[in-house]
Amino acid sequence: MTKGKQTLKEIQKALLSGVSFMMPAVVAGGIMLAISLATGEKSDTGVKVTNEFMKNINALGSAGFAMMIPILGGYIAYSIAGKPGLVPGMVLSYIANNPLGDSQVKSGFLGAMVVGLLSGYMVRWMKSWRVRKEIKAILPILVIPSISVFVIGLFYIYVVATPLAFLMQGLTSVMRSLNGTSSILLALFIGLFGEFDMGGPVTKSVSMFTLALMNEGIYEPNGMFRIAVAIPPLGIFLATVLFKNKFDQGDRNAAMAAGIMGCIGITEGAIPFVVSDIKRVLPSCMIGTAVGTIIGAIGKVKCYVPHGGFIVLPVVTNKLWFITGILAGALVTACLLGLLKPKKEELAVL
């Protein structure tokens, strides 16, 4: 095996390791949010949880979601470098998902993957340093975490975050120019990019665009986007039902939780599946969401609250088109996954 292939396999193993450790946080957080939001009330700002007990359940769910990105990055680094990679991976992934200052942006799970890998390889290199015995004792406790967080943290802030900000500004600018000229073209754009990073900065950019139009009394783009947010997790769940030989039992269990999240408009349930097989899952989800948003555009669906999934049906116009958009998009995503993913035993051989 060539060095390049060996490195790629190591990266794939690290990403899968990060996903396996992140999965319980996604499932626990998603189920808590699903329970609390399902009992909430529709309002102009989304679904509002008013019951005190359910607010506490909602807080537990939010905590699970807040932890999943640091866990992902931390255990990617851990897979490559062992225990010393854990803290740099977690700290830097937290930074990737929590902006520092006005100019910084979230990069979500994509940023966590990058800083997790960088942390892992840098820490592994630092572990190979030949130092005096006295320094070696404090190397994993003081030297490695401090230097790796400093170096990779500055690299993320000054190299990765700024180009991402320009990307999102350009995306928003293009979307604004599309609105009013071609609803189908706008729907295609929202479908392809609205869930590109499954709740990350690009998704947030699209969401802000639809919210800005809502303030101007234009609700169709928000209707398209609220169809899109439900499709990836529901499509993945449907794929595990229709193509059982492409997924193991762990995948099917996690997909069931993802499907519940999709029903109430929480896209993040799809993240573990995207991270573990990005070249197959991400295109499938993007095409599926595009199909769903185009159906929403044809049916002139409007959504009057900034939330998605079946839970907002009472505040959606042209409900049949809304439901059809979600189900058709999920079915397309599922069929593409069934076509692209190898059988589980074939995957194990690769």
pLDDT tens for each residue of 24-63: 887 777 778 777 877 777 665 556 787 889 889 889 988 8
Q: Where are the domains of the chain?
A: 1-170, 179-350
Average pLDDT over residues 238-261: 90
Contacts of 331 (CB under 8 A, 6+ apart): 235, 238, 288
Query: Is the model's pTM score more than 0.85?
Result: no
Say yes or no to pLDDT of 333 above 90: yes
Say yes or no to pLDDT of 346 above 60: no
Contacts of 321-328 with C-beta under 8 Å, sequence gap 24+, read 321/295, 321/296, 322/223, 322/226, 322/227, 322/296, 324/295, 324/299, 325/227, 325/291, 325/292, 325/293, 325/295, 325/296, 325/299, 325/301, 326/227, 326/230, 326/231, 326/234, 326/292, 328/291, 328/292, 328/295
Give tens-digit pLDDT for 156-174: 888 887 776 666 566 556 6
Which of 31-45, 57-71, 232-246, 280-294 comes out lowest in average pLDDT? 31-45
Name the residue with tokens 């896209």: 267
**Where residue 101 falls among pLDDT bands split at 50, 70, 90?**
low
Give tens-digit pLDDT for 293-329: 999 999 989 887 777 888 888 778 899 999 999 999 9
Whole-angstrom CA distances from 121 to 73, 125, 149, 167 are 13, 6, 13, 27
Residue 349: per-residue pLDDT: 44
**Where residue 334 falls among pLDDT bands split at 50, 70, 90?**
very high
Higher pLDDT, 113 or 195: 113
- Give the gyration radius of the chain's Cα atoms: 21
Say yes or no to pLDDT of 350 above 50: no
